[in-house]
């Protein structure tokens, strides 16, 4: 049988390998999008996309800042779970409309970044501004919230790679207040009672944004039709009963 298969390939019968798309993602848990154990809504969605388009998607975990640099350099074809900011267009190609706005329908999922503080702290957030800040706002390195804080000239501390590390700093008083992804933050408090006893979530969210699959410019320029097809299929899968019946955004 193996000899017959080899002969078929030599005779130019349909034996072509699948198109490969190499993607990187944050090597820290970014619940519910991408988790270190290979699960998460984005992986689930992209695996369906890959099957429908007959692609082989290879996922590589990297430190977030390194992932972005590798995609910018063209070493990877794209990055999973990146929020759109105008300055990030220099890093990767997003699905945009004619007004250079990110296309909501092509998102992987929508995420909420909430504000958490050490219980008893006077620092607060009213939905528009921070009040009585006693030190910088903790945020994960390289994440969208860090860029937003910088734009608003709000002091921040972004040396942490994970939500758990930010909450550790809150719990021991190294930070008074922080911004993290809500579902990841709530998950961390649930799994770490020592944090939950010292940290509380504030009512007003800091930021609601979409997360996308963004492609490197070499990939997008050389395989424009494929990148468009992937974005279109992300929309179709996310709106499908197959996806909705199994997950909740």
pLDDT at 248: 58
Rounded mean pLDDT of the chain? 91
The per-residue pLDDT for 101 is: 95
Residue 220 covered by a domain: yes
Q: Tell me, what's the pLDDT at 244? A: 86
The pLDDT assigned to 249 comes to 52
Mean pLDDT for the stretch of residues 105-127: 96
Domain membership of residue 234 (yes or no) is: yes
11 is a domain residue: no
Q: The domain that contains 91 carries what CATH number?
A: 3.40.190.10
Q: Are residues 155 and 83 in the same domain?
A: no
- In terms of phi and psi (left: phi > 0; alpha: psi -120 to 50; beta: otherwise), the region of 227 is alpha
Q: Is residue 170 part of a domain?
A: yes
In a domain, 39, yes or no: yes
Both 190 and 240 in a single domain? no
pLDDT in tens, 133-165: 989 999 998 889 999 999 999 999 999 989 999
* Statement to judge: residues 81 and 57 lie in one domain: yes
Q: Which pLDDT score, from 0 to 100, does residue 245 have?
A: 83
Q: Do 158 and 76 have their domain in common?
A: no
As a whole number, mean pLDDT of residues 215-235 equals 98
What is the reported pTM?
0.84
Is residue 52 domain-shared with residue 170, that is, in the same domain? no
Range of the domain at 179: 112-208
């Amino acid at each position: 049988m193996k000899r017959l298969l080899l002969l078929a390939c030599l005779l130019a019968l349909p034996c072509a390998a699948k198109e490969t798309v190499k993607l990187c993602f944050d090597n820290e848990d970014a619940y519910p999008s991408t988790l270190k154990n290979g699960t998460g809504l984005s992986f689930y969605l992209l695996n369906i996309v890959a099957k429908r388009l007959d692609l082989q998607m290879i996922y590589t975990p990297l430190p977030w800042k390194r992932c972005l640099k590798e995609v910018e350099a063209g070493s990877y074809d794209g990055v999973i779970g990146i929020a759109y900011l105008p300055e990030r267009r220099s890093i990767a190609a997003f699905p945009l409309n004619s007004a250079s706005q990110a296309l909501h329908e092509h998102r992987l999922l929508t995420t909420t970044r909430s504000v958490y503080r050490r219980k008893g702290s006077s620092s607060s957030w009213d939905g528009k501004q921070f009040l009585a800040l006693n030190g910088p706002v903790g945020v994960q390195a390289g994440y969208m919230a860090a860029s937003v804080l910088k734009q608003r000239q709000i002091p921040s501390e972004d040396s942490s790679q994970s939500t758990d590390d930010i909450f550790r700093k809150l719990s021991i008083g190294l930070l008074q207040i922080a911004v993290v992804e809500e579902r990841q933050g709530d998950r961390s408090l649930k799994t770490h009672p020592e944090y939950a006893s010292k940290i509380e979530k504030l009512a007003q969210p800091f930021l609601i944004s979409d997360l996308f699959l963004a492609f490197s410019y070499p990939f997008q320029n050389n395989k424009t039709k494929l990148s468009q097809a992937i974005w279109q299929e992300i929309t179709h899968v996310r709106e499908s009963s197959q996806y909705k019946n199994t997950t909740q955004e």
